[in-house]
Structure 1
Amino acid sequence: IGGHGDAVKEDRENFFAASPRLPVAASSSVFSALESIHQPMMALEKLIGSTGVGVGSNNWVISGKRTTTGKPILANDPHLGVQIPSIWYEVALHCAPRSAECPYNVAGFSFAGMIGIIVGHSDRIAWGVTNVGADVMDLYIEKINPKNPNQYEVNGKWVDMKLVKETIQVAGSQPIVQTVRYTRHGPILSDVSPNLQQLQPSQPLDLPQNYAVALQWTALAPSKLGYAIPQINRAQNWQEFRNAAKNYDVPAQNLVYADIDGNIGYQMPGKFPIRAKGDGRYPVPGWTDEYEWQGYIDFEELPKSFNPTEGFIASANNLVSREYPYLITADWVYGYRAKQIVEMISQQTQPISLKNVQQIQGDNHNLNAETLVPLLQAIAVDTPRLQAAQKLLQNWNLQLEMTSPTAALFEVFWKHLLADTFHDQLPKRYFPDGGDRWYSVVANLLKQPNSSWWDNRNTPKVENRDQILRESLTKAVDELERIQGKDPKNWNWGKLHTVTFRHSTLGKSGVPLIEALFNRGVFATAGNGETVNANRWMANKSFEVNEIPSLRMIVDLGNLDNSLAIHTPGQSGHAFHRHYQDMVNYWRQVEYHPMLWQTTNVAANTTETLKLMP
């Protein structure tokens, strides 16, 4: 959306492309600027939970002109943190009889306590979601009256804050009563966050002697999302779907659409602020109207598409339009998953089947390896161990498959390459996590074999690109021989790249017996965070998977009973129930179960019935 993401991307890549070694003073100013962004974000995450950075999803829809059925096929796999019980509950809502008072005839996935189906299909339409990752949180520096801490300045006048008493119930103790101070922008976060009490602005700004930091965030305003989901569930066509999407305000999503009449579409709904000045990236003065939100982008001006000539639509948290006039965010993902999805669809010369779509959802092709493997094969090595490693790479299909020795070699190499290149020049909290941004940074550096970023400052000699590549490959072989044996045939990516489903409360108790009762794992997985089968691991932490495709859904608009789905780890939230973890193996092998639709098919496959009587 717009060119903003490209501009930020270019700035970041140019920074890492700088050939001369940065002087200490310049390095210090760079990291001071990074710190001014990092500290408030860390403070926010401690207060309100994850801000969603790094969490993605895939969805796409293919026109019947390109499918074997002659009708659209829609696919969706939202990526969320690993957890047990599943965040999703697979459910169908069928009104019997169907009427104006009870119009629902839908199936798909919902959250516990949520009204309606969040992703799924009705008898007429299907839809899926991915996260936009919009920048809808701004920090404002408020000038506080030195004579009255509950007043702040607005355009030269002292204004009273809104004071709200919040009572926090504490088990076995007296309730805690805390007064939350609100300005016109929102709650003051610096009251509870030391990180926001000592700002280090990266841009010239005279901080007031007495100040506080307030958060303006679309999620703190009333939301209409609760109306949007039932409206989508009732929608019968594209126009009704878009009318419902108008209320899908927070969080902003990329919605893909298909219907039984053969139409496909895309709509980005959400509340996106229009700022008078700035892009929301840094804390800004709140005592004037200079940086105020002017309102939100009108729904009719938000990105959309209906029956495009390409015959398909795909989104994976990437930049979806380069000509958009408004700022949605400056931090789009770099589009590796989207590129692979688009290529796998567009390169099909035969009509696309449900089986083809399953293969796309389970694809583990590593686009990072496309860049690095040729260089690894070209460097000179003089030991049998490294020559054997090069031979493994020579015949590799670039798929990060569970049992692949070469996938293990490459991903362990990638971890060491990032450490060998950047750990000597970056503070620990900025060590590379290995995600899409680092794909781009390294791809840019590879074109500059003598860049100072390759040099290890901890050694007296000056290293270049090929020396670091050789050193990192050597370390990868050393590590794999140590943990998986001397024979490369025994190396295995899945044994390193595992997922453990930890119960969000009892599973983190620190009591081994309780954790053993509620947690499930360890399970081998394929892929990484930038493959379509997105099982993310962090190069600055461990190979353990921390984000996954939380569900996979494929809807056949030609025959809804052919639709497929899976989520994980199981449908039940009861630790001793047989359905607590029985989907894990299907999920990690990218297998599915039928999304049964017709009443006769559902009845024929029913094993238990629970009736709730009023």
Structure 2
Amino acid sequence: MGSNNWAVAPAKTKNGAAILANDPHLSLNLPSLWYAMQLSTPEFTVKGATLPGALGIISGFNENIAWGVTNATRDTRDWYSVQFKNEDRTEYLYNDRWIQSTLRIEEIKVKGQASFIDTVVYTHHGPVVFDRSFRGDRQDVNFALKWTAHLESNEQKTFLLLNKGKNHQDYLEALDHFTSPAQNFVFASRSGDIAMKVQGRFPLKWEGQGKYLMDGNNPAFEWQGFIPFDQNPATLNPERGFVSSANQHSTDSSYPYFMFDDSFEHYRNRRLNNVLRESENITVEDMKKLQFDQYHLHAAEALPVMLHLLDQSGGIDEFGEKGEAFLEELGQWNFNTFPNQKEPALFQTWWKHLYRKIWAKWENDSLSIVLPNKYQTVKLLNNEPENPLFDLPETDQIETAADLARLSFQEMVQEITAWQEEKGSYEWAAFKGTRIMHLVPNFESFSRRNIYTGGYSGILNATGERHGASWRYVVEMGDEITAFGIYPGGQSGNPGSRFYDNFIKIWANGDYVNFDLRKQEEPAEVLFRTKFTQ
């Protein structure tokens, strides 16, 4: 799941104060996952977004520091093949010896029915997640899951300490209690410090370990311990004047530990860093606009290659007036994805068909296949258009990238034409169809469909059909702290309340509500108060 966060040093801001921004991207649901809260104590006041059941603010700020989180995108799970001695699964093979497994009885209560009793088998690797009782004809039966999230931890303490933190050292000490899921913690303070740390409990692995299923009998496949917290990637007050994360690689080749994941991001992070690198005299308004940035870097890099390949294939005469009109629109595109633009629908549809033409032959229902990502695919199209990978095995001729560009363009013309005939305009908001669904799938009337907004996956405003910024906030840590925040929902989980979804339109338009720290003697716009006494 994608997310963005960054902090800008005082030297790059107009008011000479550090600015921090955070927007975690999650599934769009109602009631909202987050809700806004200010906690005021005799010692400190903290404000931001929190989760039901949490004891404090998860992403927010107090009078001294601000912080935010994004997914660190690291492989902290491994699967081990387990050989049981017999059907009762009380013993399994490890290091060529039979050792005792642990059986735990789980009672799952079902309303109006007898409880469902399930026996979970535990090995020293972890629980056997898929076993003989799991539905479906699976190939991964009797595989144990080893995952850092199963280990002891105290993530709540991290946020309790951040809520009252005063400086960078407090931030570091708070993070020492956080293990899973690994996060990129951004930091800014009123004293002008900015920082980023990738925090989690990361296994020590030999290079390549965990990319594939491993033999649970062989001790050589065991984790060798964990990377020390003080050697997790981190930076404080870098010379470039900003820190940022957008689910990209957090280290370069000089990092001494093996680090792997197959879902690192390749576009949002480059757009974010380019804008921050080129910007000076940055304001809160600049950062709000950057969170809602609509520029489609993937399209900006891919479309010229696709158009060149299409031209090499012999043009589009056979596609008629529709094809010519679509091609003209694409040629004039500024690569933004505003809700009233049509070009994003043309590009995404063409790219979808082109990607499938290239890689569909490798898909296999009986195997789990990780296909090359968008960045790798564009690179292949541009650098090796004659590569045999582009050949379609079901035809007699040998296809090239130009042939696939032509075939996929034809499929795009057909799909968009059919859309027009059935639904009318293919403006981006209508075509994309962003929707915010109730957590209970059948509660359709409590959901909100056809949200008029732009953006898409791989864009800083990463609002797709069912996924996007679950919370946006920007704070300037000056003498007088200035903050703005918004999320796609409301403060109430009651569909009958006017506060159930009153933030959605504001969020969809890229606007915010004031999020300054409120003093207790300021009663304006207070909906209700809760006072805790001993």
TM-score (norm 2): 0.91
C-alpha displacement of 1:520: 1.7
Show the counterpart of 1:389: 326
Cα distance between partner residues in 1 of 2:409 and 2:169: 55
Does 1:515 find its partner at 2:450?
no
C-alpha displacement of 1:309: 0.4
Show the counterpart of 2:250: 320
Cα distance between partner residues in 2 of 1:531 and 1:581: 25
Over the residues paired in the alignment, what is the CA RMSD in angstroms?
2.7
Report the secondary structure of 1:215's partner residue.
strand
Distance 1:156 1:487, change over 3 A: closer
Cα distance between partner residues in 2 of 1:160 and 1:367: 54
Asked whether the equivalents of residues 319 and 332 of structure 1 are also in contact (C-alpha less than 8 Å), the reply is: no
Cα distance between partner residues in 1 of 2:498 and 2:411: 43
Show the counterpart of 1:411: 348
Cα distance between partner residues in 1 of 2:209 and 2:91: 27
Q: How does 1:362-511 map to 2 (within 5 A)?
A: 362-378=292-308, 379=311, 380-382=315-317, 383-427=320-364, 437-484=373-420, 490-505=425-440, 508-509=441-442
* 1:422-449 Cα distance to aligned partner (Å, 9 max, x none): 3345346999999x91232233133222
C-alpha displacement of 1:367: 1.6
C-alpha displacement of 1:158: 2.4
Cα distance between partner residues in 1 of 2:24 and 2:530: 29
Cα distance between partner residues in 1 of 2:172 and 2:269: 24
Cα distance between partner residues in 1 of 2:256 and 2:326: 49
* 1:488-510 Cα distance to aligned partner (Å, 9 max, x none): 9x5301101112222122xx23x
**Segment drifting more, 152-161 vs 172-181:** 152-161
Asked whether the equivalents of residues 30 and 489 of structure 2 are also in contact (C-alpha less than 8 Å), the reply is: yes
Cα distance between partner residues in 2 of 1:397 and 1:278: 41
**Segment drifting more, 384-393 vs 83-92:** 384-393
AA paired with 1:297? I
Distance 1:604 1:412, change over 3 A: same
Cα distance between partner residues in 1 of 2:324 and 2:386: 24
C-alpha displacement of 1:607: 4.5
Does 1:219 find its partner at 2:149?
yes
Equivalent position to 2:513, from 593, 596, 599: 593
Cα distance between partner residues in 2 of 1:607 and 1:143: 60
**Segment drifting more, 67-76 vs 323-332:** 323-332
Asked whether the equivalents of residues 339 and 427 of structure 2 are also in contact (C-alpha less than 8 Å), the reply is: yes
Asked whether the equivalents of residues 432 and 438 of structure 1 are also in contact (C-alpha less than 8 Å), the reply is: no
Report the secondary structure of 2:118's partner residue.
strand
Show the counterpart of 1:343: 274
Equivalent position to 1:128, from 68, 72, 90: 68
AA paired with 2:102? K
Asked whether the equivalents of residues 403 and 493 of structure 1 are also in contact (C-alpha less than 8 Å), the reply is: yes
* 1:485-540 Cα distance to aligned partner (Å, 9 max, x none): 6999x5301101112222122xx23xxxx422x2222213312110011123xxxx
Show the counterpart of 1:334: 265
Show the counterpart of 2:55: 115
Q: How does 1:137-152 map to 2 (within 5 A)?
A: 137-146=77-86, 149-152=89-92
C-alpha displacement of 1:482: 2.6
Cα distance between partner residues in 2 of 1:433 and 1:281: 11
Report the secondary structure of 1:256's partner residue.
strand
Cα distance between partner residues in 2 of 1:424 and 1:248: 42
Cα distance between partner residues in 2 of 1:284 and 1:398: 44
Report the secondary structure of 1:310's partner residue.
coil
Cα distance between partner residues in 2 of 1:171 and 1:331: 41
Asked whether the equivalents of residues 202 and 227 of structure 2 are also in contact (C-alpha less than 8 Å), the reply is: yes
C-alpha displacement of 1:560: 5.4
Report the secondary structure of 2:334's partner residue.
coil
Show the counterpart of 2:498: 578
Equivalent position to 2:225, from 281, 295, 298: 295
Asked whether the equivalents of residues 422 and 431 of structure 1 are also in contact (C-alpha less than 8 Å), the reply is: no
Q: How does 1:150-161 map to 2 (within 5 A)?
A: 150-161=90-101
Cα distance between partner residues in 2 of 1:198 and 1:372: 37
Report the secondary structure of 1:413's partner residue.
helix
Distance 1:400 1:592, change over 3 A: same
Distance 1:143 1:307, change over 3 A: same
Asked whether the equivalents of residues 25 and 469 of structure 2 are also in contact (C-alpha less than 8 Å), the reply is: yes
Cα distance between partner residues in 2 of 1:85 and 1:456: 46
Asked whether the equivalents of residues 187 and 196 of structure 2 are also in contact (C-alpha less than 8 Å), the reply is: yes
Distance 1:428 1:358, change over 3 A: farther
Report the secondary structure of 2:22's partner residue.
strand
Q: List alignment gaps of at least 5 residues for structure 2.
A: none
C-alpha displacement of 1:155: 2.9
Distance 1:152 1:91, change over 3 A: same
* 1:37-82 Cα distance to aligned partner (Å, 9 max, x none): xxxxxxxxxxxxxxxxxx1110000001000110111001001112
* 1:8-59 Cα distance to aligned partner (Å, 9 max, x none): xxxxxxxxxxxxxxxxxxxxxxxxxxxxxxxxxxxxxxxxxxxxxxx11100
**Segment drifting more, 171-180 vs 227-236:** 171-180
Q: How does 1:60-79 map to 2 (within 5 A)?
A: 60-79=6-25
Q: List alignment gaps of at least 5 residues for structure 1.
A: 1-54, 200-210, 537-544
Equivalent position to 1:306, from 222, 230, 236: 236
Cα distance between partner residues in 1 of 2:530 and 2:92: 57
Does 1:528 find its partner at 2:472?
no
C-alpha displacement of 1:602: 4.8
Does 1:84 find its partner at 2:84?
no
Cα distance between partner residues in 2 of 1:501 and 1:439: 29
C-alpha displacement of 1:136: 1.2
What is the aligned length?
525
Cα distance between partner residues in 1 of 2:423 and 2:436: 31
Cα distance between partner residues in 2 of 1:364 and 1:433: 28
AA paired with 2:36? E
Cα distance between partner residues in 2 of 1:430 and 1:473: 29
Asked whether the equivalents of residues 185 and 214 of structure 1 are also in contact (C-alpha less than 8 Å), the reply is: yes
Q: How does 1:265-304 map to 2 (within 5 A)?
A: 265-275=195-205, 279-304=209-234
Asked whether the equivalents of residues 190 and 196 of structure 1 are also in contact (C-alpha less than 8 Å), the reply is: no
Cα distance between partner residues in 2 of 1:213 and 1:235: 42
Cα distance between partner residues in 2 of 1:134 and 1:591: 32
Report the secondary structure of 1:273's partner residue.
coil
* 1:550-572 Cα distance to aligned partner (Å, 9 max, x none): 11110111155521110012221
Percent of aligned pairs sharing the same letter: 29
Cα distance between partner residues in 1 of 2:93 and 2:405: 56
Distance 1:533 1:387, change over 3 A: same
Cα distance between partner residues in 2 of 1:494 and 1:147: 55
AA paired with 1:139? W
Distance 1:146 1:419, change over 3 A: closer
**Segment drifting more, 472-481 vs 583-592:** 472-481
C-alpha displacement of 1:582: 1.3
Asked whether the equivalents of residues 553 and 564 of structure 1 are also in contact (C-alpha less than 8 Å), the reply is: yes
Equivalent position to 2:4, from 58, 72, 86: 58
TM-score (norm 1): 0.80
